[in-house]
Amino acid sequence: MAAAAMLLIGGSSAALAHGAHFVPEATDVSWDGTVATVAFREVDVVLKADVTTISVKVTADVDAICKRGVSILRIHRSATALDVKDYPISDDGTVEGAARVPLKVTGLEVPDFTCVITHVSVTTVLEDFWTGATLIDKTDQRQIRESTTDISP
């Protein structure tokens, strides 16, 4: 909130951080089904402050096929989570960070059906509020995981 107020009142520091950018090769995203872990590096950060504010938005898209006898259901579900924190700027203008973002996709199990997850796609959007640097990272994973849900007594 304070960051937004300063932008409106005093202008942005982005002009000072013109060359700031995230390094795609230094971005690593993993998702275990409940938590997304995002490691990143931003370089050429020149601000008057010793920290910068970075948002990490993660979206997981999951496809599954559920079967019971001759019945087949194709399911697509997604979920999005956001984490916003201040990260320290090193003396050389580098920001190294790692965010752990709770993220769970629900609705992938159907009572009395055997479900198999066939595809997982994780999209991460990094944005530095002060420098204006952004990065979009998309990771496709082919994951096969079977689960059987039986709610009969």
Cross-strand bridge partners of residue 86: 53
The SS3 call for residue 6 is: helix
Q: How far apart are CA 39 and CA 101, in angstroms?
A: 11
DSSP conformation class of 45 = -
Are 46 and 15 in contact by the 8 Å Cβ rule? The answer is: no
Predicted pLDDT at 72: 96
Give, in words, the CATH class of 2-148.
Answer: mainly beta
Predicted pLDDT at 141: 73
DSSP conformation class of 92 = T
Confidence of residue 11 (pLDDT cuts 50, 70, 90): very low
Are 89 and 47 in contact by the 8 Å Cβ rule? The answer is: yes
Reported as a single tens digit per residue, the pLDDT across 59-92 is 999 999 999 999 999 999 999 999 999 999 999 9
Segments making up each domain of the chain, as ranges: 2-148
Q: How far apart are CA 107 and CA 61, in angstroms?
A: 12
- Smallest CA-to-CA distance from 65 within 151, 150, 147 is with 147
Looking at per-residue pLDDT, the higher value among 73 and 147 belongs to 73
Residue 45 makes CB contacts below 8 A (sequence gap 6+) with: 17, 20, 52, 89, 93, 94, 95, 128, 131, 133
